Amino acid sequence: MRKLKKYSNILPIQIGAMALTLMMSACAVKPSSDMDSPAYHHKAGMRHLDMGEYDSAVNSFTRAIELDKKFAVSHAGLGIAHANLKDKKKARKHAAKAEGIAGKDPQVLALCGKAYIDLRDQDKKWHKDARRLLKKALKRKKGHELATYYTGEMHLYKYEFAEAEDHFRSVVDMKGEHSGRADKMWQLSQKIVRAVPGTEVGKKVALYEKISRADLAVLLAEELKISKLIERKTTPSVGFQTPSQANATGPTTPSDSKGHWAETWINEMSKYGILEGAPGQPFYPDESVNRAEYALAIQRILSVVTGDAGLETRYFGESPSRFQDVTSSHPAYNAMALCSERGIMQADMITGRFQPNLPVSGADALLSIRTFQNALRMTF
């Protein structure tokens, strides 16, 4: 009796533990097929991330974790997805969870670093956390491809373009899984390094895949210093006003730009007849700029600062056209030919196509501005 009494308190505990184990087993999510595995759903989630389908990525990563709650890479994937869905709290939660489960795995650490990189517009601490994780990943495995690639991204979004260029080049040289996209980012970094953005807004716009008319107005004002440039011209053209003259004429805000974030810079462009439009008329600030429109803006500036109005008609009617895809009667042909002649913009070296309707990227716009500045120095 004493022995039974001795163990009587233990038996209920053991029975309770067994019952809990059985309940957990009963509630565990079981795969419905061979394809219903954490690894399969994780790969699907990563594909969704690459395509920008963040809600679908969340679903795939969540299913992977339902099947294996300690599947760390999918917690990291959820961190990236939620960061892009602008949910900072969930992004940090899952990145921390992934690091807690597999804090020594360089692949997991690299993905967690990416989650913080994608929080850069929402979280002031993004750089500190991303750098810590990526440094830890590379310490665990020197030259880890994904960690090296994301370190390049981290430098790029911190506007450390030379460092970004070095890391992307390293990934390209590895000739691994990520060398293709690294090559694209390497070329972008090289272009920005050559363009040498001199202002914070220039550095920011340099990363845009395509720029708007408002973005271009800011670049021309801040990077090209258009007002100072125009003040230097010695032969005012008919109908043109210097900045001091324009300032005396009163308000010139285009009708669709009042209250726009770039209103000040748009006013500056409309005063001088750059980017077309007239004072009080629509400017269409949020429309993308294509290569033909960019060439027209450069033509206008070059004509004004040199005092040579003939530059705006010099190449019309050329035969044959110097471009495979543009006739010499195209409204922007003269501008394209002028920019090509001065080395400011070029046609494709292989096809000879100018591609006038192609959007202009921030890096291309900046690089053209630098080339334009060099052309102006020669002119003056």
**pLDDT tens figures, 3-44:** 444 444 544 445 444 444 444 443 457 888 878 999 999 999
Distance separating alpha carbons of residues 166 and 152, to the nearest angstrom? 8
Q: Are residues 187 and 321 in the same domain?
A: no
Q: Are residues 53 and 191 in the same domain?
A: yes
| pTM of the predicted structure, to 2 decimals | 0.83
For 27, 94, 102, 132, 150, the CA distances from 138, given in Å and listed in that order, are 39, 21, 15, 10, 11
Bridge partners of 39, per DSSP, are none
Q: Is residue 13 part of a domain?
A: no
For the stretch 238-290, pLDDT in tens is 444 544 444 445 446 888 999 999 999 999 888 888 886 555 578 999 999 99
185 Rama sector, left if φ>0, alpha if ψ -120 to 50, beta otherwise: alpha
- Contact 80/92 with Cβ under 8 angstroms? no
- Contact 113/126 with Cβ under 8 angstroms? no
Q: Is residue 155 part of a domain?
A: yes
Q: Are residues 273 and 323 in the same domain?
A: yes
Q: Are residues 186 and 276 in the same domain?
A: no
In the block, tokens 């008329």 appear at 281
Q: Is residue 11 part of a domain?
A: no
For the stretch 141-165, pLDDT in tens is 999 999 999 999 999 999 999 999 9
What pLDDT is recorded for position 252? Answer: 67
Q: Is residue 26 part of a domain?
A: no
Q: Which two tokens stand for residue 17?
A: 């533990």
Q: Are residues 263 and 282 in the same domain?
A: yes
Q: Are residues 116 and 259 in the same domain?
A: no
Number of structural domains found in the chain: 2
Q: Are residues 316 and 243 in the same domain?
A: yes
Instruction: State yes or no: cis peptide before 320, omega within 30 of 0.
Output: yes
**Where a domain ends, among 201, 233, 249?**
201
Q: Is residue 162 part of a domain?
A: yes
Q: Which residues have CB under 8 Å from 110's CB, separation 6+?
A: 133, 134, 137, 144, 146, 147, 150
Q: Which two tokens stand for residue 105?
A: 């795995």
Q: Are residues 185 and 223 in the same domain?
A: no
Answer yes or no: is pLDDT of 348 > 70.
Answer: yes
Here the CATH number for the domain that contains residue 180 is 1.25.40.10
Q: Are residues 194 and 218 in the same domain?
A: no
Q: Are residues 137 and 227 in the same domain?
A: no
Q: pLDDT above 70 covers what percent of the chain? A: 85
Q: Are residues 132 and 273 in the same domain?
A: no
C-alpha dihedral (116, 122, 127, 130), degrees to nearest 10 = -10
Q: What angle do CA 331, 355, 220 make, to 5 degrees?
A: 75
* CA 239 from centroid of its chain's CA atoms: 39
Q: What is the mean pLDDT of residues 202-211?
A: 97
Q: Are residues 194 and 215 in the same domain?
A: no
Distance separating alpha carbons of residues 161 and 155, to the nearest angstrom? 7
Range of the domain at 372: 211-379
